[in-house]
Structure 1
Amino acid sequence: MEEPIVRWVVCGFIFWTAAFLALRKALPARSFDFCNRLVSTAHACAAVSLATLSVEDWTRPISPLGVPSSSWQMMALAVTLSYLVYDSFCCLFDEKIHISNLVHHAVGVVGIAASLYYNMCGTEMVTAMWLTEFSSPFLHLRQLLKELGYKDTDLNRAADVLFAVSFSLARMGCGPYLTTVTLTANYPLVIKVTALGLQLVSAFWFVKIVRMMRFKVVKNGSTKVAVD
């Protein structure tokens, strides 16, 4: 991994950590999770923006494949790698440790680090980053609204639907194609394993999301019947 990339990762880790600590001090009444989700939302917006800016040809946005990473792609990946390292530490200090999040972070860290080390599959990795982060703001918005007192409101239900739709389209609609492209390319085994691992984690969360939406639909229907 080149020295400028290492600096990006180190500086990024310091930045995300400082942002979290500043939010904890500025919002003492809010929870650890609330402040961390604000940082996560900021990263998701930054990651999607950087991934979008790295597209060289909008007539073929997922191209070129199988070529060395561009400087824009490496910078975008370094920023996300720094965030994943930061958030992995945050997960360890939260009240409840979510194993699925730790697995997701571990897969992401290994995959991005391998891509930066080998200087390859930048397009595939940045596209995967765009797909995985596209639904993140809606994911965090759901929980932020709950802590702000908007649980079981139309606004919170709208956030649920936006998250479920964006996650399903990105990770289960486009994700399998991108995974197949990565698995069939001439890439190191570690990159192929992490690509498959990320898709499996997405499938696991997709099942949980379907169950959540079914529960909310049944719950909402029962509430309307009771009111009527």
Structure 2
Amino acid sequence: MEDYATKLIVFGGIWWTSLFLLARKVFGRRSFDFSNRIVSTLHACLAVVLASASVQDWRCPVCPLASKSSPRQMQTLAVTVGYLLYDLVCCFLDKNVKMDNTVHHLVSIIGLWSGLEYQRCGSEMVAALWITEMSSPFLHLRELLKELGYKDTDLNLAADILFAVIFTLARMVGGPYLTYVTLSADNPFLIKAMALGLQLVSAFWFYKIVRMVMYKLSRRTTLSKKLATS
């Protein structure tokens, strides 16, 4: 791995931690998770911007396949590795450790780290970053709204549906295609394994999201009927 990438990972970890501490000070009355989600939202927005800026050819966003990563792609991946390490530590400190989320973090860290080590597959990896982070701001918005007192409101339901739609399009339409081209190209085995693992985690989350949306819609319908008959 290039020295500047390693330094950027370390700097990124310090930067995201500093933002979290600032958020804790500004939102002192809010929970640990609230401050962490503020930082996570900022990272998701930055990751999408950096990933978009590092695409070499928008006519084929994942091209060239299995090629040497550009300096901009390496920087983008290093920033996210720093964030993922920070966020994984936060999950343990907040005692909010879930198996699926931990697997997602480990798969992402190992996959991106291996890409930095091999200095290859930059096109595929920034595309994966773009796909996975596209829905993240809306994921965090759902939880932020709940803590702000907007649970079970139309605004919260709209955030739920928007998150579900973007997640589905990104991870269950774009994701399988990206996984296919990554597995088909001449990429290192470890990167192929991590691409497949990330898609399997996304499929599991898609199943949970479908159940969540169906539950909320059915609950809203039931409440509406009760109000109409009362």
Is the TM-score greater than 0.5? yes
Shift in Å, 1:59:
2.2
Shift of 1:57: 2.0
1:157-176 paired onto structure 2 within 5 Å: 157-176=157-176
Query: Distance in 1 between the 2:88 and 2:96 partners?
Result: 13
Q: What is the aligned partner in structure 2 of residue 72 from structure 1?
A: 72
> Who is 2:96 aligned against?
96
Deviations 1:168-211 (A, max 9, x none): 00000110111011112222211111101000000000000000
**In structure 2, how many angstroms separate the alpha carbons of the residues matched to 1:51 and 1:187?**
20
1:125 aligns with 2:86: no
Counterparts of 2:114 and 2:95 in 1: how far apart (Å)?
Answer: 31
- Distance in 1 (alpha carbons) for counterparts of 2:15 and 2:222: 46
Note the C-alpha offset of 1:94. Answer: 1.2
Q: Aligned runs of 1:2-41 on 2, under 5 Å?
A: 2-41=2-41
Distance 1:126 1:190 in 2: 17
TM-score, scaled to structure 2: 0.97
Moved over 3 A (4+): none
Q: SS at the partner of 1:149? A: helix
The code of the aligned residue for 1:73 comes to Q
Structure 1 residue 156, shift from structure 2 partner: 0.4
What TM-score do the two structures reach when normalised by structure 1?
0.98
The worse-fitting range, judged by mean Cα deviation, of 88-97 and 155-164 is 88-97
Task: Among all aligned residue pairs of Structure 1 and Structure 2, give the percentage whose two residues are the same amino acid.
Answer: 57
Other structure's SS at 2:66 match:
coil
Q: Distance in 2 between matches of 1:37 and 1:87?
A: 10
Structure 1: give runs of 5+ residues left out of the alignment. none
Unmatched tracts of structure 2, length 5 or more? none
Q: How many residues align?
A: 228
**Which residue of the partner structure matches residue 82 of structure 1?**
82
Alpha-carbon contact 2:65-2:185 (below 8 Å) kept = no
